[in-house]
Amino acid sequence: MRQHVNPLSSNFHEIERIPSLIEIFGDSKSNLHLDIGCAGGEFLFDLALVNNSWNYLGIEIREKLVKTAKLKVCETEIKNLYFVFGNAINILNDVENKFIIKNLKSISFNFPDPWFKKRHFKRRVIQPEFINNLSNLLQKGSLIFIKTDVKDLFDYMNCTILNNLNFQAIDKKDFNYSGSFNPNKIQTKREKYVIVNELDIFESIYIKI
Ligand SMILES: C[S@@+](CC[C@H](N)C(=O)[O-])C[C@H]1O[C@@H](n2cnc3c(N)ncnc32)[C@H](O)[C@@H]1O
């Protein structure tokens, strides 16, 4: 399977419409967390089991991973987890899918593809217009979690989010998770690799004000 796909390719212009929350979750009223670039969904399967009072949604651009994850959801009959295939930016910028952003309590971007070359920065999933769209639709108090092992990518994401005045960084030491569930309690697949290989992790949390 290809490790990296170009999200700007015309293959991803057509997008999957996300069914209503009632159609995809057992309890549509539960708090909703979105993981962008969820790969095979290992992190979300763990979260959905550990914290079954929340609903979890994953968006991933590699179709084969999404097909396998969807199959696993069916087999395990988990009612608080759903996967969507495609470029997260196109999916969430689509008017038909606005309701998803409006219903989110939190979003995670865990170890996004770094796209090291400057001419490829536009392929990165965190883009100013996308952050602007999120800031317009997210409820106040919603959280964004970012995590990466690439310092330059962290600086770029941090700067892009903070350039939007509707987001403020929260010091994780001061942050009180009461009423919320901290997704950082669970390690992602990439994070496990990063820890085993003793690489640095750069992370931050932002709140919509
Ligand atoms: C380095 S992997 C990290 C996977 C996982 N979050 C983890 O921490 O183990 C980045 C993932 O983001 C996906 N991805 C990259 N750009 C994307 C986009 N625009 N929309 C959705 N998924 C994307 C990639 O296919 C890949 O699975």
pLDDT digits (tens, 9 = 90+) for 6-59: 999 998 998 988 999 999 999 999 999 999 999 999 999 999 999 999 999 999
Euclidean distance between CA atoms 106 and 185, whole angstroms: 14
pLDDT of residue 86: 97
Task: With respect to residue 4, please indicate whether it lies within any of the assigned structural domains.
Answer: no
- Choosing from 46, 113, 155, 171, the catalytic residue is 113
Task: With respect to residue 82, please indicate whether it lies within any of the assigned structural domains.
Answer: yes
Euclidean distance between CA atoms 58 and 165, whole angstroms: 26
Tokens of 194: 């990063």
Residue 4 CA: nearest ligand 1 atom is 25
Q: Among candidates 91, 208, 102, 101, which has minimal Cα distance to 161?
A: 208
Task: With respect to residue 191, please indicate whether it lies within any of the assigned structural domains.
Answer: yes
**Ligand 1 mean position to 36 CA, how many Å?**
7
Task: With respect to residue 5, please indicate whether it lies within any of the assigned structural domains.
Answer: no
**Terminal CA-CA length for the chain:** 40
| Residue 178 pLDDT exceeds 70 | no
pLDDT class of 4 with cuts at 50, 70, 90: confident
**Ligand 1 mean position to 197 CA, how many Å?**
20
User: Residues, the chain, total?
Assistant: 209
Task: With respect to residue 35, please indicate whether it lies within any of the assigned structural domains.
Answer: yes
| Residue 176 pLDDT exceeds 80 | no
Domain boundaries, position 161? 10-208
pLDDT digits (tens, 9 = 90+) for 68-119: 999 999 999 999 999 999 999 999 999 999 999 999 999 999 999 999 999 9
Task: With respect to residue 123, please indicate whether it lies within any of the assigned structural domains.
Answer: yes
DSSP state of 13: T
Q: Among candidates 61, 57, 147, 161, which has minimal Cα distance to 111?
A: 147
Number of structural domains the chain divides into: 1
Residue 124 CA: nearest ligand 1 atom is 16
CATH of the domain at 131: 3.40.50.150
The pTM for the full model equals 0.97
Residue 109 CA: nearest ligand 1 atom is 6
DSSP state of 180: S
155 as an active site residue: the answer is no
Task: With respect to residue 99, please indicate whether it lies within any of the assigned structural domains.
Answer: yes
Euclidean distance between CA atoms 175 and 195, whole angstroms: 23
pLDDT class of 2 with cuts at 50, 70, 90: low
Task: With respect to residue 1, please indicate whether it lies within any of the assigned structural domains.
Answer: no
Q: In what order do the strands lie in the sheet with 202-208?
A: 81-85, 54-60, 31-36, 104-110, 143-148, 202-208, 167-170
